Amino acid sequence: MPQDPITPPQPTYPAPMPIRVSRQGINVTQRQGLALGGTALIVLAVPVGLAAPSIPLALPMAVIGAVLVGLNAVWARRWLDDMFRRYPQIEQRVPDWLIRLASGRPKRGAPE
pLDDT at 91: 83
Helix-, strand-, coil-residue percentages of the chain, each rounded to 5: 65, 0, 35
Residue 11 lies in a domain: no
Closest CA to 80 of 98, 100, 96, 102: 102
pLDDT in tens, 41-56: 999 999 999 998 888 8
| Angle 109-107-81 from CA coordinates, rounded to 5° | 115
* 56 assigned to some structural domain: yes
pLDDT class of 111 with cuts at 50, 70, 90: low
**What H or E segment, with its residue span, contains residue 33?**
helix 19-51
- How many independent structural domains does the chain possess? 1
The number of angstroms, rounded, from the C-alpha of 18 to the middle of its chain's C-alpha atoms is 25
pLDDT digits (tens, 9 = 90+) for 63-87: 888 888 877 877 777 887 888 889 8
Q: What domain range includes position 67?
A: 23-103
Do the Cβ atoms of 30 and 9 come closer than 8 Å? no
User: How many helices and strands in the chain, by DSSP H and E?
Assistant: 5, 0
